[in-house]
Structure formats: C-alpha cells, structure tokens
Amino acid sequence: MRKTLLAALFLLFSCHKAQPPVSQPAPVTAFRIEPQTIPADFEFIGVGESSHIVQLRARVEGYLESIHYKEGGLVKQGDLMFVLDQRPFIAAVESAKGMLDRQKAILWNAEQTKARMVPLYAKNAVSQKDLDNALAQVLAAQAEVETASADLYKAEINLGFTSVSAPVTGLASQAKYREGALIAPNAGDENLLTTIYVVDPIWVNFSISDNDLLQLKRDVANKRVEFPPEMQFKVEAILSDGTVVPAVGSIDFTNPAIQQSTGTMLFRSVMSNPKTLIYPGQFVKVIVKGAIRPNAIAVPQTAVLQGGNGTFVYVIENGKALSRSVEAGEWYKDYWIINSGLKEGDVVVAQGVNKIQQGKPVSIHTLLSGQLP
C-alpha cells in the first residue's frame, strides 16, 4: 500500500511542469529632456604673476649704511628701504652752495661796475669798449651763477639718491647687500639692491590649447556657445584648498601667437588682491565665466554610458528601454551636455541603468524635471 502511494505521488509531480518566473519591469529614475540656457564656464590652471616688478638699483656710489625694511614683507609706496653713507654727498651740497654764493657775489660786482659805466659813457668819460666789457662781465657772471645753481641741484639730487624709498606698494625680496658693502651704480646686477613685486592687483596667467580653441570656435559657429557682449568675460580664481578668491577679475591681454613648444595660447587676467591670497608663482584654478549655452540639452552624468560603438543613453519609449547613441560635450556641474542624439521631450534613464536591458520593459519610479539647478 505504501509503495503504491509513493508511486502515485511521483507520477503526479513528474507530470507537473515548472512554469518560468514572470519578469517584472525594472524600476528606474528617469529624466525628461528640456532644452534651456545654461552658463558656459571654462576651467583652466593658472599661475599668479606680479603685475609690476620693480628692481631697486643704486644710482650713486657709496657704502650701504642701513636697511630699513623687513625682507619678504610688504612695503608701501614712499617707505624708506636703504640708506647709503650720506657724508660725502652732504659735503658736495655744501661745496656747491658755497660756489653758488661766490658766483652770485661776482655777478653783483659785475652789475655794479656796469651801473657805474653807463652814466660815464653818456658823458664820454669811458669808451664803448669799456662799456662792452662791463656788459660782458655781467653776462658771464650770470652764466656762472646758472652753472653753480645746476651744480647745487645735481649735488642735492645725488644726496637724495642715498636714501632709497619704495616707488610702489608690494612685497620686497631679500636685500642683495648687507650694511658696510660698497654699492656702485654699474651696469648689470651689481647695483641691484632688491626687487619689489606688486601683488595688488595680481596677474593670473592661463593657457588654452589649440584643440580647445578650435572646438570653441566650432561651438560658436554652431551656436552652441555665445560669448558675452564685447567679450567681457569674468574670471574667478580658486586656491588649492578650495578657497574662492572674493575678487572677480577680467581678461586684459591675449597673446596673439600660439606657443610652438606647448601648442597653447596665453591669456592674462587681472584681479584685485588686497589680502595677498594669491602670490606670484602660485597655481590656482581659473574659472572663466560670461558665456552661455543657448537651448542646451543636458542629462545627469549617471545616464551616459560608454559602449563598443561609442557613447549612448537609454531612452524610454512605450515603456521599454532603448539605447540611443549620443554625442557628449562638456560637463556642467553633475550633468553632461549632449550635442546631438536627444531632443525635447525625450525621457532617459538617469538611475538604475545597471538593472535594464535593451528592449526590456522598465518602470519609472521617479521622473525628474529637466530644469537644471
């Protein structure tokens, strides 16, 4: 009896065929395409450069007497920095003053002589030659006074050159000489005292490759990018620690030639730097703003995939996921700019692409708006 029951159960289960499980549509997050105007910001690596480099040089010969600034610190325009031994120059000024006084005395005497000659000549008491000599002596004495005045002015200038002040406000480098050194106004770096770097405003130089320039020209020609009126771009600098420099700069120079060694074109921006956040030689991230992308189509970065035939996305049509090749352009925040392949109203899979297959049904769990933040 037991064997008969087991045989019946075996026949019952063997006759029942297992049914395959019904596949459920994969749940995904979708994104609806809405063309819109978005900023076209361009990112580069820049380096700071002093907007005005001044090399302080000795203009007279003398022994360095004292240094009056903190090396590497900020100096303001007019601050005293170096003093040479002034004693020889003070003596030269006093000597020039004495010579000027002497020439003035000679001029006074010549004028008195001329004053006596004039009435005597009217009375025929002296000859014409005597009067002419008196007039010539006055003119010669006046010339000597002018020469002595110029010599005094020159001596005073040389005395002033013994005190070297900062012609601009900036960061001063180390002193090339110490107290007691003989400074001579020779050619070359022998008379270089120090260098001042103006850092407010600061220059930030950056380069754009020729490939990027060509791509940018194509985007402008295809009306994918529009430049600001009169090319008035705004430049933002970000330090290596993420600090955003509060000042906004502008591009004030573009090198007209591409550097053959690097294949790049040099651009220079200028921005205020009152707190010296950017130093000469410092690398910063440069963001060039002001251009726009009209009627741009963008999708989340998670929607764009790379396959054997290039870049593609999954588009939802009639409840099914269908792959579509696209041409991806630049990034904007967390989005890809799509140059071609998508149109307004298309719905693409933004999240959950690893759960779907070509032509299989999908279930839209969340539908995101196409308006970018």
Residue range 305-354, pLDDT digits in tens: 998 889 999 999 999 999 999 999 888 889 999 999 999 999 999 998 88
80-84 vs 327-332, strand pairing mode: unpaired
The pLDDT-based confidence of 24 (bands split at 50, 70, 90) is confident
Q: CA–CA separation, 176 vs 74, rounded Å?
A: 17
Question: Is there a contact between 73 and 175 (Cβ–Cβ < 8 Å)?
Answer: no
DSSP letter at 181 equals P
Closest CA to 175 of 199, 192, 187: 192
Closest CA to 354 of 11, 7, 75, 29: 29
pLDDT score recorded for residue 296: 93
pLDDT score recorded for residue 21: 55
- Confidence check: pLDDT of 92 > 70: yes
Q: In 16-127, where does DSSP find H-type helix?
A: 87-122
The CA angle 259-263-269, to the nearest 5 degrees, is 65
pLDDT score recorded for residue 187: 59
Q: In 68-86, where does DSSP find H-type helix?
A: none
Residue 342 three-state SS: coil
Rounded mean pLDDT, 67-72 = 96
Q: Is the peptide bond before 201 cis (omega within 30 degrees of 0)?
A: yes
Q: Domains, the chain, ranges and CATH?
A: 26-38+296-368 (2.40.420.20), 40-51+198-292 (2.40.30.170), 86-161 (1.10.287.470)
146-195 confidence digits (pLDDT tens): 999 999 999 999 999 999 999 999 999 999 999 999 998 875 677 899 99
38-64 confidence digits (pLDDT tens): 999 999 999 999 999 999 999 999 999
- Confidence check: pLDDT of 32 > 60: yes
Q: CA–CA separation, 235 vs 204, rounded Å?
A: 9
Question: Is there a contact between 342 and 348 (Cβ–Cβ < 8 Å)?
Answer: yes
| H helices, E strands: number in the chain | 4, 20
The pLDDT-based confidence of 10 (bands split at 50, 70, 90) is very low
335-340 vs 327-332, strand pairing mode: antiparallel
Amino acid at the residue 372: L
